[in-house]
Amino acid sequence: MKIKVNKMLGAASVLVMGLAAGAAQAADTIKVGVLHSLSGTMAISETTLKDTILMLVEEQNAKGGLLGKQLEAVVVDPASNWPLFAEKARELLEVHNVDVIFGNWTSVSRKSVLPVIEELNGMLFYPVQYEGEESSKNVFYTGAAPNQQAIPAVDYLMSEAGGSVKRFVLAGTDYVYPRTTNKILEQYLIDKGIPKEDIMINYTPFGHSDWQTIVSDIKTFGSAGKKTAVVSTVNGDANVPFYKELGNQGITAEDIPVIAFSVGEEELSGIDTGPLVGHLAAWNYFMSAESEANDEFITKWHKFIGSEDRVTNDPMEAHYIGFNMWVKAVEAVGTTDVDTVRQAMYGITYPNLTGGIAVMNTNHHLTKPVLIGEIQDDGQFEIVWSTPKGVIGDAWTDFLPESKNLVADWTAPIMCGNFNITSGKCSGQNY
């Protein structure tokens, strides 16, 4: 507890320093904005990411800073309030003059920040897996696009190792990410020859806690003689009651496996995983990945946060890669000027924590490997499958008719996040 209080004081003093010494120190430090909710509903996920950036900043400073200057983290709290994200982004860029921002979790908060960050020409690193269909000049997307998570996950389920699944339940929370992802997946499954009656789509409200009927429906849907699986885009808080109900109604992973895109180590830490063994998740990173870089990262995290019980997860790795790529790019060009650094970001590489190399592409998405893990009874994932090499993040999915012809490329000659290759037109900022 004491450590935590100290930490909070530390964070607060960073904040105060940022406010008080703003102008005087502007020349001496490079400012890193942190735009993650520390209160409200999303605090559960985003607080960890704030701590990750603070750790990375501390580590970089211990190495002697950047361009001979110290890094300074400026932490603001948008309080899970989507319009407030835009205001806080403006405050970071106009009042604190930060050189780069790491932040956001939900897509709606990112959409709210976009106009501000483009107007003021800032640079945002967004670390969470999302629905794609976007590429802004001012945002680097270090989380997975649908083709780096959803599509490989379904491919795995349909393969022999995944159980040759023939019938799919697409269950999600009712908002933009699951709706878009499920639209893409439904089209993809139909293209793969799965008949429409073998796909069941189900949406639930945020924080849904009474899963009895839905789980019972899934059970019935799965007893029709074809191997069935659930593809879950159920968001954070609703997952615990969902998995509890699955366990209570006796649905095991051998009968009907559930593959989730929003359940990682952090979400499992609030739940008894005994009945969940064998259910799956698709990510670009698992804490159980065996590599020296990962061991080192976990050790550092435990030391920084002061607890051996805290886990690491995929968005943390995304921040780790994003932060280090930015540092590398700044070092390469010798300035933090946004336009110059952006040019240097293209093609930049950094080893990811699971082994292999992440590459930043000109569509502002990463090339990363895709891993499938099975939940174990200790709350960790056992990696059962991975793509042989990195998968290039695709900003505009090829599986929806409206975005099939769109590409994003922020280098000459295209210079557009939304370029139609058949008409040769750039639709500008209309994502």
Partner 1 sequence: MSVAALISSLRTGLVTALAALVLAICVTGTAGAQDAASEDALKAALPKLTERSFDVKGQAIKDISTSGDPRALDLLLAIQEGDLYYRKSDDLIVYAADAESGYDIKDALTGEDLGNVGKRKVKKISINNQLRSILKGAIGSLELMSPNPDQRVAAARAMLSNPTADAMPILLTALEKETDPAVRDMLDLAKAALEASIGSVEDRLAAVEIMAGSMNPDVWAILGRLAAKSDGSGSEDETTVGKAAQQALNEIEGQKQVFALVETVYFGLSLGAVLLLAAVGLAITFGVMGVINMAHGEMLMIGAYVTFVVQQLMPNHIEYSLFVAIPAAFVVTGLIGIGLERSVIRVLYGRPLETLLATFGISLFLQQTVRSVFSPLNQPVTTPEWMSGFYEVNGALSLTYNRLYIILFCLIVFAALLLLLRKTPLGLQMRAVTQNRAMASSMGIRTGWVDAMTFGLGSGVAGIGGVALSQLTNVGPNLGQAYIIDSFMVVVFGGVGNLWGTFVGAMSLGVANKFLEPFTGAVVAKIIVLVLIILFIQRRPRGLFALKGRSVEG
Cβ proximity to partner 1, 270 vs 334, nearer residue:
270
Choice from 269, 349, 427, 429 touching partner 1 (CB under 8 A)? 269
Contact between 249 and partner 1 by CB under 8 A: the answer reads yes
Q: Cα dist. 376→80, 266, 279, 292, 389 in Å?
A: 31, 14, 9, 22, 25
State how far Cα 320 lies from the chain centre. 12
Q: Which is nearer to partner 1, 214 or 325 (CB)?
A: 214
Length of the chain: 431
**Whose Cβ is closer to partner 1: residue 182's or residue 204's?**
204
3-state secondary structure of 95: helix
Which of 197, 184, 352 is CA-nearest to residue 261?
184
- Give the range of 108-116, 132-140, 274-282, 389-397 binding partner 1 by CB under 8 A: 274-282
Residue placing its CB nearer to partner 1 in the complex, 41 or 362: 41
- State the nearest-atom distance from the C-beta of 109 to partner 1, in Å: 16
Q: What is the 3-state secondary structure (H, E, C) of 98-116?
A: CCEEEECCCHHHHHHHHHH
C-beta closer to partner 1: residue 236 or 390? 236
Among 74, 185, 271, 359, binds partner 1 (CB under 8 A): 271
Answer for which of 132, 257, 369, 390 binds partner 1 (CB under 8 A) is: 257
- With contacts defined by CB under 8 A, name the span among 22-30, 64-72, 137-145, 224-232 that binds partner 1: 224-232
41 contributes a contact to partner 1 by CB under 8 A: yes
Shortest distance in whole angstroms from residue 295 CB to partner 1: 10
For residue 285, the Cα-to-chain-centroid distance in whole angstroms is: 10
44 binds partner 1 (CB under 8 A): yes
Nearest to partner 1 of 38, 92 (CB atom):
38
Cβ proximity to partner 1, 44 vs 426, nearer residue: 44
Judged by CB under 8 A, does residue 39 bind partner 1? yes
Q: What is the DSSP string of 233-250?
A: E--GGGHHHHHHHHHHTT
Q: How many residues sit close enough to partner 1 to count as binding (CB under 8 A)?
A: 59
- Binding residues among 355-384 for partner 1 as defined by CB under 8 A: 374, 376-377, 382, 384
Q: Please select the residue that binds partner 1; options are 6, 13, 97, 209, rule is CB under 8 A.
A: 209
Q: What is the dihedral of CA 68, 6, 128, 412, to 10 degrees?
A: -20
Of 127, 124, 133, the closest CA to residue 407 belongs to 133
Least distance to partner 1 from the beta carbon of 26, Å?
Answer: 32
For 90, residues 6+ apart whose C-beta sits below 8 A from its C-beta are 116, 120
Residue 151 near residue 176, CB atoms below 8 Å: no
CA 86, CA 112: separation in Å to the nearest integer?
6
Applying the rule CB under 8 A, the residues between 151 and 190 that interact with partner 1 are 160-163, 174
Among 6, 121, 212, 299, binds partner 1 (CB under 8 A): 212
Distance CA 216, CA 392 (A): 38
**How crowded is residue 281: how many other Cβ atoms within 10 Å of its Cβ?**
25
Q: Which residue lies nearer to partner 1 by CB, 60 or 182? A: 182
**Nearer to partner 1 among residue 97 and residue 223 (C-beta):** 223
Among 6, 223, 411, 427, binds partner 1 (CB under 8 A): 223
| 253 binds partner 1 per the rule CB under 8 A | yes
Phi, psi of 420 (to 5 degrees): -90, 115
Give the C-alpha separation, 186 to 400, whole Å.
10
The answer to whether 207 contacts partner 1 (rule: CB under 8 A) is yes
DSSP three-state, residue 71 = strand
Q: Rounded to whole angstroms, how far apart are CA atoms 409 and 407?
A: 7
Q: Which of 63, 210, 412, 413 binds partner 1 (CB under 8 A)?
A: 210
CB of 283 to partner 1, least distance (A): 16
Q: Which of 90, 226, 300, 302 binds partner 1 (CB under 8 A)?
A: 226
Least CB distance to partner 1 at residue 172 (A): 11
Nearer to partner 1, 70 or 273 (CB): 273
Distance from C-alpha of 253 to C-alpha of 372, rounded to nearest angstrom: 14
Q: What is the DSSP string of 361-408?
A: -TTSBEEE--EEEEE-TTS-EEEEEE-SS-EE--SS-TTSTTTTTEEE
Contacting positions for partner 1 (CB under 8 A): 4, 8, 38-39, 41, 43-44, 47, 160-163, 174, 202-205, 207-210, 212-214, 216-217, 219-220, 223-226, 237, 240-241, 244-245, 247-250, 252-255, 257, 266, 269-272, 275, 278, 280, 374, 376-377, 382, 384
